[in-house]
Amino acid sequence: MSSGRSSVAVANTSLTVDRLDRLTDRVRSTTDETIAVEAPATADRIGSVPDCSDADVDAAVAAAREAHADWAATPVDQRAAVIDRFSELVVDHRAELLDLLQLETGKSRQTAAEGLFSVPSACEQAVDRGPEAVADEPRGGGIPLLTTATVTYEPVGVVGVISPWNYPVTLSMADVIPALVAGNAVVLKPDEKTPYATLFLAELLERAGLPDDVLRVVTGEGGAVGPALIDRVDYVAFTGGTETGRAVAERAGRNLIDCSLELGGKNPLIVLDDADVEEAARGATTACFANAGQLCLSAERILVDESVFDDFLEAFVERTRQLTLGTAYDYDAEIGSLIDAAQLDRVRSRVEAAREAGATVHTGGRHRPDVGPYCYDPTILTGVDPDSQIACEETFGPVVTVQPVESTDAAVAAANDSPYGLNASVWTGDRSRGQRVARQVDCGTVCVNDGFAVGWGATDAPMGGFGDSGIGRRQGDEGIKRYLEARTVATSRVGPLVPSDQLPMGWVVEGASTAWQAGRRIKRAVRSLRR
């Protein structure tokens, strides 16, 4: 598959063209059709992967389904041990993984490293919590002392994971790892723009002891491979845009399978009147421009109390101008490239439309071909029409709007004036106040005095969206439980709970009422003691 491609981009890394080909060979496909993969930092073609057919997807799911039985029967501690060994391999092979990430995404190495090290964190959460999440759980029976109830948990079967291009390592493994520790087989479809790092992770899982076919990878165009996958699996985990997410949910619903969807956002960042504006400005540069803004959790709207608006804006513009752009394989640059020409056009056209409508560009607003073909300066806008596309829809680039608000209530109202609800942040000198305000913001995660890292890093807590930002949760016990089917086993200690010839119905009714009243009094007493 190396014919007709450039190795210029690969030459700057620890990788080789042959190494990419060996990764591609992990995709088992009968088709001759391929999809080219480009290095955003140079616009060079670095390889190609199979454009899998329906038959390829069918074969992958069938193989995963066959492998699932033995994997599900493997004790959870042994499954967790595989994940634990995998996390060590990820750290051991960090240099090659970072090179792969930069090669196929154009990220800065700083951003690549931040994403890479979230994988061991996800593994640690799965290893720590997996055994407890799948363990039998005693529940209260219908009639105390006479009946019992136990909930057992079984893996759903074969999970389809459809992962995005912006964080191919982080977001694929955030869904794959808990599915595996729960005892499922997985068929993973990475974005066609960024397949290589995902394929390398599949190789590392195999080295860690994951049995053959428990994880299969299929590549191809999302519009074709995605529906084929949804029609064959038992659960779908999707990360991507809201409109595509609607289509995924609709198809999953027709197949009567469950799904979790992490979708788009128009995330607000609120600066209260008592915030340290210098600290808020420092945090906002990361919150808005990490990964060149191509992050579902990044802030695209900043709402600043009017009493500190001018000071915050000045500090924020100054700090943003100090950000460094670059795509070299070192840690010097903070901001890397956009993913491709289409994403560059999306960002550039929205900024130009805002400018033409009267918005002020305080810094940025420029394509930077001197840095890379798809690089764009971090951009700050004020005076944006609140009903414009750039104010209401996700841009997914290094662009943020800043607007003054007259009060905390006004900031919360503006933050909630959106169909999205993925992530938000609140900046204040009073953490307790920040937590109170956070409870009023309609988002699945709200961070106080941080943009998103404290929320994403809280792997023991669930993460997901309200409204158009998705359904379901990853991370925490919820992130494992979504991949399990609950079964209730209820048992009677006294035989069938029906009236007998020796026990008239009237006696049953009176006896049950007396028992219920006694039980109610006991529960009330217990509640009082707990208070």
Structure tokens given for 427: 């900046």
- The pairing of strands 258-262 and 470-471 is antiparallel
72 contacts: CB under 8 Å, gap ≥ 6:
154, 155, 183, 184
Distance CA 327, CA 336 (A): 5
Query: How far is residue 373 CA from its own chain's centroid?
Result: 28
- Report helix angle 109-116 to 168-181, nearest 10: 10
510 is a catalytic site residue: no
Nearest CA to 277 out of 301, 305, 299 is that of: 305
What number of other Cβ atoms are within 10 A of residue 198's Cβ?
A: 27
Q: Are 197 and 104 in contact (CB under 8 A)?
A: yes
- Please, what is the Cα angle at 55 between 17 and 197, to 5 degrees? 30
DSSP track, 399-449: EEEEEEESSHHHHHHHHTSSSEESEEEEE-S-HHHHHHHHTTS-SSEEEES
Structure tokens given for 182: 């729960």
DSSP H or E stretch at residue 524: helix 505-530
DSSP state of 161: E
106 contacts: CB under 8 Å, gap ≥ 6:
39, 40, 41, 327, 336, 337, 338, 339, 372, 374
Active-site residue, from 262, 300, 334, 394 = 262
First and final C-alpha spacing in the chain: 68
296 is a catalytic site residue: yes
Distance CA 351, CA 36 (A): 30
Q: Are 189 and 219 in contact (CB under 8 A)?
A: yes
Diameter of the chain measured on Cα atoms: 93
Paired with 45 in beta bridges are 38
Q: Tokens 């060994």: give the residue.
A: 85
Active-site residue, from 259, 296, 443, 447 = 296
Give per-residue burial for 74-92: e unless 16+ CB within 10 Å, then b.
Answer: eebeebbebbbbbbebbee
Task: Give Cα separations from 170 to 174, 175, 439 (angstroms).
Answer: 6, 9, 27
Mind telling me the catalytic residues? 262, 296
